Amino acid sequence: MSEIAEKFGIKQALKDLGLEEINNGTSTGKDFFSNGEIIPSYSPVDGALIGKVKSTTKEDYENVITSAEAGFKQWRTWPAPQRGEVVRQFNDELRRLKEPLGKLVSYEMGKSYQEGLGEVQEMIDICDFAVGLSRQLHGLTMHSERPGHRMYEQYHPLGVVGIISAFNFPVAVWSWNTALAWVCGDACIWKGSEKTPLTSVACQNIAARIFAENNVPAGISSLITGDYKVGEMMTNDKRVPLISATGSIRMGKIVAQAVAARLGKSLLELGGNNAIIVTPDADIKNTVIGAVFGAVGTCGQRCTSTRRLIIHESIYDQVRDAIVKAYKQLRIGNPLDENNHVGPLIDKDAVKNYQKALEKVVEEGGKILVEGGVLQGEGYQSGCYVKPAIAEAKNEFKIVQHETFAPVLYIMKYSGEISDAIEIQNGVVQGLSSAIMTNNLREAEHFLSVEGSDCGIANVNIGTSGAEIGGAFGGEKETGGGRESGSDAWKIYMRRQTNTINYTTELPLAQGIKFDL
């Protein structure tokens, strides 16, 4: 255990989460211990080895899917409020273990401790939502055109749900899916990121304990571990009717094609290239706060991170100078130290992509306003700490069109009306999150209108990053079109059925058709 890990209580957190010995049990109720390759987990905070797990083999996967299918046949018969009660107890454990799980998220992924706690809070919030939802899985009743008939819709559990999550939100996105899928009556198989395997095992340990106490059938919460080849086992498996995948656009296209080829369902949350429009009527102070946090929070590794700042030419110099000044105040370092604003990137591959982006923007004619670079020396021994950078650029630059998962902010001007800014904002292939900073009601409403932002999330006077549980989360275009979390996102985890009941002694046919025998 490293000096930083000892100082900030990581050893105790691992103990609290049942991770003193990692056996990689993959299924609640029945443990399948893998014989796969070792996956080490190194912290980007200090480069230290935290622990090791074993990857899932084909034989392991078959055991897991068999258990999940069998468990689903029992779980779907439980009344939804009873399933909700199990989720409530799981939620109580998350509340009790919020601090150690938040610390592990911070240490294994590299986001600030406060963001780690915030991610666990998202888990708690979605469980609260799911518990209430367990008593509201409602359909519709409609009038039949035939006398003495009643029509209605109802929703039934879908089956086994496959979840593929990314390293940047190693626990929250899983919970967005599982909390809803569990109350809907589904079994879940989760392939967490191989870059953050210990947080996945920690969550599985919590679920396993609660499920065992409630005699939940084995296989309702299962974990598989490994690289893309392990994910392919699920995406190509007809026994998994829904695949929910979070990651890059490239990955999403591969998943979508594989699932579509077998006529399965996919829920995709892919790349973002999110912009904030700053109009002449913007509150500059709030603009700076929203833009800086959006660009550097989680070291720029959120799908909702602010990548582009589109500023009206009349206030361009003022906003640019304020942002540059704010960047000079950023403190970069150990994310477990709450005095720091920015932690490390996930690994050295991410660092290389960051460096290439800064080189590319200059090659295409951009100008660096805040210098980037890799930090070295004491406190930065992992080699994953970089300086958040700002570059003046044009929207049509290839590198600006590409999502770089790092703290690189591109700023650009617009002239004319708000429609001109919206055209720039919409001029990328991604469509996840967007924002406008303005105190002009007409501009705000235009931005939210059918002629406005083409993104799944559109905010006024807040930044692009972050989302509340109550609203459906997701994006359009090459972001994938999926919706998770709140609103009616639960419906994708169920199958819809239309029912007609004839309570008469006659059998009238629709549209007045006669068929007498």
List the catalytic residues.
269, 303
The CA radius of gyration of the chain, in Å to the nearest whole number, is 25
Distances (CA, A) of 104 to 43, 203, 204, 206, 328: 10, 11, 14, 14, 29
Residue in the block written with tokens 């938040």: 102
Closest CA to 44 of 449, 463, 344: 344
Closest CA to 457 of 274, 246, 249, 217: 274
Q: How far apart, in whole angstroms, are the C-alpha atoms of residue 131 and residue 241?
A: 24
Q: Are 396 and 416 in contact (CB under 8 A)?
A: no
Residue in the block written with tokens 């800014």: 421
Q: How far apart, in whole angstroms, are the C-alpha atoms of residue 370 and residue 325?
A: 9
DSSP conformation letters of 405-461: SSSEEEEEEE-S-HHHHHHHHT-SSEESEEEEE-S-HHHHHHHHSTTS--SSEEEES
DSSP 219: T
Closest CA to 26 of 205, 173, 186: 205
